[in-house]
Structure 1
C-alpha cells in the first residue's frame, strides 16, 4: 500500500489572506473561485501570490487552492469581529484619532455613559461563547520560561503578548479597540483585568517559580497590575529549584502595584522566602531566642498589607526536607529552613499577616516542636557518620 503525502497547510496567515480586497470579498460571499477552469499559468500565478510552491501537477494545485479557501472560510466565520476589522481596513484614518474629524451632530462613543461603555466592552471581550475568554471569570494561562500562552495554543507555540493581549483573532479585540483612543485603551484593558482571575500553570518543575510570577506581573504592565482582580500560580509538581531570592524581592515590589487584587494563591515555601539578608535574623531567632526581625518576611507582610482590596490569601509555605542541595549544604541554613524550624518561621508569617483581620488567610505549613541547633547537629552526625 502506497502512503499518500499529506496535503500542505496554507502557507499564508488569515490576516495576510484577507489583506486582499478580492479574497476578502469572496470569503464574505462564500464564493470559491473556479480554479478548475483556470489555465496552468493562471494557477501558478495564484500559487505564487500566496507564497506557495509554483509548480506541480495542475490537479494538485487546484486541490491546494481549494483547501486553502475552505480553511480561510472557516477562519473567517470564527472571527466575530471581522466587520470591525473590515471597516478599519477600509478607513485607516479612523485609527489616527488626531486626524479623524467626527461629525459634531452625532454622539461619539466617549459621550456614552461609563456604564454603557462597560456593557459594550463586556460584549466585545467575553462574547460570543466560542471566544477565548468566554465569560468573565477564571482565565487559564500556561507558562514555559519567559513564554505565556493559552492552553489550546500550546501545540502551536503561539506566545501571548500580555501587554496588548494579542495572540489570535479574539484576543486582538483589545488591541484594535485600544488603538482607537488612549482613553479607550485604558478603559478596555482595565475592564478586562478587573473581570478575570488569572490562573497560571508553570508547566515544568525545573522552572524558577518566582521568576515566572515576576515576569507575568512585569509583562501586563502598570495598567494590568493596577486592575488585576485575582491571581493563582501553581505548578504540576511540588518541588522547587534554587532559592530565587532576588526574584522574590522583585515580586514583592510588583505586588504593591496590585491595588485592586482581591484574591491571591501562591506557593511560597519558606526556604524560597528567606534569603541572605535574613541570615543574621535567623541566627538570633534560633540560637539566641531573639525576636525575629526578617527583611523578607517584612517585605511579604508589607506587600500584602498594602493592597486595600485584598480579601483572600492562600500561601503554601511548606519546605521539603531535601532542600539541602539548594542551600549550598550550609548546616545552619538547612537546619533553619527545613522541618520543624521552618514551621516556626511559618508561624511568624501567620502571626504578622493575621493582624489584618478583614482578610481570610490560609497559610499552609506545619508547626512542630523544634529541637535546638545542637540537638540537630548531633542527629545529623549520628545519621551521616
Structure 2
C-alpha cells in the first residue's frame, strides 16, 4: 500500500527567502539582513500541514493496524547561500532527531526509524551560490513500529550545523523527514481507485432492494443488479427538481456470509451518476457497521469500495446521492459486484 512521499527541510518560521540583486553585482542578500546566510531550498509541492523542504510519509491507523500510504522516493539535499562564495565554502549538515519544531512532534526513538547521510559536508564553489554536490538521505524503516506514531504530524530535522564564512539560516536551515498520520475508523480504503480481489461471478440467490426516504418509494431490483448487463439498470427517480441531496438506500443480500476484499457498483450513463456513498455491512441483517464513505467523479462509472483487508459480511447497505438533480435525472445502478 505504499506510494511516494515527502520529507522536510527545517524552519521554525518557514518564510520565503527574499532576494535582491544590485545592478551587475553578483551579490544577493535577504532583505534587511547583511549577513551571508546558507540555506536549503527544495523545489516542489509539500503536503498540507507540512513545512517547505519536507519529505513526508503518510501513515493511516486503520482497524487492521498502521498502513503506510505514501513514502519518499530518492532524497537528496543541496544548499545555497545568499551571496556568491568568495572562496570554496564548506557546509556541514547533521541529523538532529532531538531537535523540536513548534507545532510538530518529535519522532520517538523507540519507533525504530533511523536516518543516515551519505556525507556530512557539501561545498559551494568560489564564485557560486549553490553547491554542485548533493547529500543523499537514507531512511531505514525496516524495523519501524508505526503504532508509536499517534500524533498528527512529526518532523525529524536535518540541519545545517556550520558553514565556513557564513551563517546557517534560522528560517530555512533544515530539511525534514516528516510523518503525517490519520485515523481511519472504518474498513474502507478511501485512497483505492478500483476493486481488489477475485470477482464472484455466480450471484445465484443474491437479492437487492432500494428505498427513497424522502418519498417512501421502494422496490425490489434484484433482476437489474445481478445479471452482468450494464445496460439493464435500476433507476431511482428523484423526488423534486433539486434532488442531489436526496438519499437512496440500497440493500444487497448475498444469501450467505462471504469474506470479501471489496464491492463495486456500476452505474448507467453520466447523467445517472452516483456522487457519493456510505457503505454499511452486516452478517445477520440486524447489527450494522458503517465501514466508510467514498466520493467519485461523474465519469468514473465504477464505484468501488476496497477494504483494508478481507472481512465477513452477508448484507451490504449503500446510502448514496446523485450528481444531478432534476426531472428525468437521478441514479441508475446497473450492476453490483463482490470480490473475495
Query: TM-score interval w.r.t. the shorter chain?
Result: under 0.3
Greater relative contact order, per chain length (Cα 8 Å cut-off, separation 6+) = 2
TM-score, normalised relative to structure 1: 0.20
TM-score, normalised relative to structure 2: 0.22
The structure with the largest strand share of the pair is: 2
The structure with the largest helix share of the pair is: 1
